[in-house]
Amino acid sequence: MALVDCPECGTKVSSAAFACPRCAFPMQQSTLKPTPTGQVVTTERTGKDLKAAGCFWGLLLVASVFVLISTASQQTVVTFLAWIATTVSLIALIRVKVLTWWRHG
Ligand SMILES: [Zn+2]
């Protein structure tokens, strides 16, 4: 344990002391500062993931609805696939919206 000079009055104070015994200047100020946690970073990362997922499924939904409309009169395999893509992307979009609400609402 080292002795350090109090920045306020110059008294030799133990580095383990919370405050200077003479003038009560707080010595442990730097260690008492709340350290930034990884929580904020994690939240931002998941938020970006959700936004990316939302963009992806949104584009797929628009594309599959477009294919569905343009092939609806023909009733081909493409129409069937477009139906599946529309349903899947719609469910995925709802899931993204629910997750966004769950984490940030
Ligand atoms: Zn002091």
CA–centroid distance, 36 to ligand 1, in Å, is 29
How many residues are there in the chain?
105
Chain centroid to CA 69: how far? 37
Is 57 exposed, middle or buried, given 0-12, 13-18 or 19+ CB atoms closer than 10 A?
buried
CB 35 within 8 A of CB 44: no
Long-range CB pairs of 52-58 (<8 Å, 24+ gap) are 53/92, 53/96, 54/93, 54/96, 54/97, 54/100, 57/89, 57/92, 57/93, 57/96, 58/89, 58/93
What residues are neighbours of ligand 1 (ion), with CB under 5 Å?
6, 8-9, 11, 20, 22-23, 25
Assess whether pLDDT exceeds 80 at residue 3.
Answer: yes
pLDDT recorded at residue 105: 62
Q: What element of type H or E holds 4?
A: strand 3-5
Assess whether pLDDT exceeds 60 at residue 88.
Answer: yes
The predicted model scores a pTM of 0.50
CA–centroid distance, 27 to ligand 1, in Å, is 9
Residue range 52-83, pLDDT digits in tens: 888 898 999 999 888 888 887 877 888 888 88
CA–centroid distance, 35 to ligand 1, in Å, is 26
Residue range 4-59, pLDDT digits in tens: 999 999 999 998 888 999 999 988 755 444 555 555 666 667 778 888 888 898 99
CA–centroid distance, 79 to ligand 1, in Å, is 81
CA–centroid distance, 76 to ligand 1, in Å, is 85
CA–centroid distance, 10 to ligand 1, in Å, is 6
φ and ψ of 15, to 5 deg: -70, -15
Residue labelled with tokens 């383990």: 16
